[in-house]
Amino acid sequence: MELLTGLICFGVLMLGAAILYAVLYNSLIAKKNQVEYAYSGVDVQLKKRHDLIPNLVASVKQYMEHERGLLERITELRSRAMNPDLPEGERMQVEAALSGALRNLMVAVENYPQLRANENFMHLQASLNEVEEQIAAARRTYNAAVTDYNNAIEMFPTNLIASTMGLKRRAVFEAEEAERATPNVAQLFQR
Amino acid sequence: MSNAPTDALRQLEPILRALEQERTQYVSQFAQISLWSVAIGGTLSLLLAAFGAGVWAIALLFVALIVIAAAYASKADAWRRAFKAQVMTQLVQFVNPNLRYYPEQHISRREYDLSMLYHNSPAPDRYYGEDLIEGVIDKTDIRLSELHTEYKQVTYDSKGRRHEQWITIFRGLFISADFHKDFKGVTLVLPDTEQSWLGGFGQWLQSLSAKLGNQPGELIKMEDPEFERLFKVFATDPIEARYILTPNMIRRIVEFRAKTKSAIRLSFIASRVFVAIPTYHNHFEPPSLFAPADKLLAPETLPRYFEELRFALAVVDELNLNTRIWTKR
């Protein structure tokens, strides 16, 4: 009888432990997938930007004779970023460089009043602002997901399970100071 | 834009002086009605009392009082209407010629429901509003009014007696404005009550509340600690929520809350922003009918109403809604 009670107790304990393990395991998987999902959100927006660049470059080329170097650099960075064989870390660096170059372009545009009268260009500029805003939002979503995930794999008790699952810390996107501010039209116009 | 343009407002002073005359007319009409009521009612009830009909005498005095009260209500109302029609209409035009003012109208119930700002409160049984202002400020169309929504709570005590109580859901300024970006989902920015005194546990409760379907979508955590302390965000799409609530917008909301000094809530739905600013001050109302003449004619009167208006319309500048550099025009 006592043996039976003991066995039942043991069984209940084991079952409890198994359920707890399953819950924690699943929550970790959910967080890992959340990170991947958020990453694909960034990816989608970066691709949108790639699609926008050829039109943008084509529409400003004829006006911006003096900025040819900048335009070539943008085109080159775009094709490098689109290379599927590029490792993830390096790709993000290229994208960051592309962000910087595009910002410089938008500043340089202010020296060309004809461009500001060009309906097509104004539309492209709005689209670029839009996509940059979406990229920023997607990155922040990614960072929030990564923070959540990193917390889970470092905090007790999920850290115990995480180490058996081989989950590693992920890095967040570091936003450049200039990227943090929303595009400010007034500032652009002053130039 | 911090000080009201006092000199320009002076141009509106003739309106105030004309209105002051109207007010004295209302007061004298009311005084006449009151005097006659007291005289006739008093004499008759004295006579009735002399003939021993004391009950009738008291009833008659009561009638006289009711007449006086009704006269006051009607004159005070006429005064309110006159003030709003003449002063407020002009002031609204003065602030921005594209705006229109409708003293007796308000934000529609449909729009109130659409905003989802109080979707967790019971549906209002009493819906009252006034002072609708609508129009386009630069590129942003805006509509706002005072609103007071209440629901009826019926409780039964231990003896089975029924008790009715009216409970306020919202009272204050309700604003609906065009947002400068397009979006499809729902993002709610609500005052954070749980997290402020329950900390992490409160946050866990909030995310549970979203999972149970009390809130649309999921709880979204923002990076700004001050914002997080003051607000909780629920959204159907986390990326879209951050697309709307950029770090810049978050700072603006925190500052706007500080300026309004009240627990504002915002929602972003169908490319519009809805803002509820709870205030217990009844906006855009004239001084009392019996206030001394210099109260209405005081040099600070017009600037004060001007400030009230600008406070109500500030959301356009505070949230930077006229910046249209994205694809939405």
Give the ipTM of the model, two decimals please.
0.78
Same domain, B115 and B164: yes
C-beta atoms of B327 and A130 within 8 A: yes
Point out the residue among B239, B325, B327 whose CB comes nearest to the CB of A137: B239
CA dist., res. B130 & res. B286, Å (int): 14
Q: Is residue A162 part of a domain?
A: yes
Point out the residue among A38, A133, A181 whose CB comes nearest to the CB of B326: A133
C-beta atoms of A41 and B223 within 8 A: no
Q: Is residue A53 part of a domain?
A: yes
Q: Is residue A9 part of a domain?
A: no
Q: Is residue A137 part of a domain?
A: yes
Q: Is residue A17 part of a domain?
A: no
Asked if the C-beta of A110 comes within 8 angstroms of chain B's C-beta atoms, the answer is no
C-beta atoms of A126 and B221 within 8 A: no
Greater confidence, A65 or B180? B180
Same domain, B181 and B125: yes
Residues of B with CB under 8 A from a CB of A: 181, 220-221, 223, 238-243, 246-249, 323, 325-327
pLDDT higher than 90, residue B165: yes
CA distance B134 to chain A (A): 27
Same domain, B248 and B293: yes
> B74-116 pLDDT, tens per residue?
999 999 999 999 999 999 988 899 999 999 999 999 999 999 9
CA dist., res. B25 & res. A129, Å (int): 60
Report, as an integer, the average pLDDT of B162-189.
Answer: 95
Q: What's residue B75's pLDDT?
A: 94
Which residues on chain B are in Cβ contact (under 8 Å) with A181? Answer: 248
Q: Three-state DSSP class for B211?
A: helix
Q: Which helix (H) or strand (E) holds A28?
A: helix A2-61
CA distance A134 to chain B (A): 6
C-beta atoms of B243 and A126 within 8 A: no
Q: Is residue A32 part of a domain?
A: no
Q: What's residue A186's pLDDT?
A: 46
CA dist., res. B210 & res. A123, Å (int): 38
pLDDT higher than 80, residue B8: no
Number of domains in chain B: 2
Radius of gyration of chain B (CA): 25
Asked if the C-beta of A183 comes within 8 angstroms of chain B's C-beta atoms, the answer is yes
Q: Sheet harboring B140-156: ordered strands across? A: B99-102, B126-137, B140-156, B162-178, B272-278, B265-269, B186-191, B231-235, B218-220
Residue of B nearest to A175 (CA): B247
Q: Is residue B56 part of a domain?
A: yes
Asked if the C-beta of A182 comes within 8 angstroms of chain B's C-beta atoms, the answer is yes
Number of domains in chain A: 1
- Region for A105 from its dihedrals, namely left if φ exceeds 0, alpha if ψ lies in -120 to 50, beta otherwise: alpha
CA distance B243 to chain A (A): 5
Asked if the C-beta of A34 comes within 8 angstroms of chain B's C-beta atoms, the answer is no
Average pLDDT score over chain B: 90
Which residues on chain B are in Cβ contact (under 8 Å) with A182? Answer: 246-249
Written as six digits, the tokens of B50 are 């002399």
Q: What percentage of chain B has pLDDT greater than the value 70? A: 98
CA dist., res. B131 & res. B121, Å (int): 24
Q: Is residue B328 part of a domain?
A: no
Asked if the C-beta of A137 comes within 8 angstroms of chain B's C-beta atoms, the answer is yes
Chain A interface disruption, residue of B228, B323, B326, B328, most A CBs within 10 A: B326
Angle at B114 between CA B112 and CA B118, to 5 degrees: 60
Same domain, B124 and B230: yes
CA dist., res. A10 & res. B141, Å (int): 68
Q: Is residue B329 part of a domain?
A: no
Which residues on chain A are in Cβ contact (under 8 Å) with B247? Answer: 180, 182
Helices of type H across chain B = 6-10, 13-50, 54-83, 89-95, 109-115, 194-198, 200-211, 225-230, 238-244, 247-260, 293-297, 301-313, 315-318
The boundaries of the domain holding residue A145 are: 42-190
The boundaries of the domain holding residue B16 are: 6-95
Q: Is residue A21 part of a domain?
A: no
pLDDT band for position A142 (50/70/90)? very high
C-beta atoms of B247 and A182 within 8 A: yes
pLDDT band for position A188 (50/70/90)? very low
Q: Are A129 and A183 in contact (CB under 8 A)?
A: yes
Same domain, B142 and B85: no
Same domain, B274 and B310: yes
Same domain, B50 and B187: no
Same domain, B83 and B105: no
pLDDT higher than 80, residue B303: yes
Q: Three-state DSSP class for B1?
A: coil
CB < 8 Å & 24+ apart, contacts of B227-232 = B227/B251, B227/B253, B227/B254, B228/B192, B228/B195, B229/B192, B229/B195, B229/B196, B230/B191, B230/B192, B230/B254, B230/B257, B231/B189, B231/B190, B231/B191, B231/B192, B232/B189, B232/B190, B232/B191, B232/B192, B232/B194, B232/B195, B232/B203, B232/B206
pLDDT band for position A176 (50/70/90)? low
Judging by beta carbons within 10 Å of its beta carbon (0-12, 13-18, 19+), is residue B281 exposed, middle or buried? exposed
pLDDT higher than 60, residue A189: no
Chosen domain end from B95, B124, B152:
B95
* Cβ contacts from A onto B, under 8 A: 49
C-beta atoms of B325 and A126 within 8 A: yes
* Confidence (pTM): 0.85
Q: Is residue A109 part of a domain?
A: yes
How is residue B299 annotated by DSSP? T
Q: Is residue B323 part of a domain?
A: no
Same domain, B64 and B121: no
Angle at B177 between CA B173 and CA B178, to 5 degrees: 175
Same domain, B124 and B201: yes
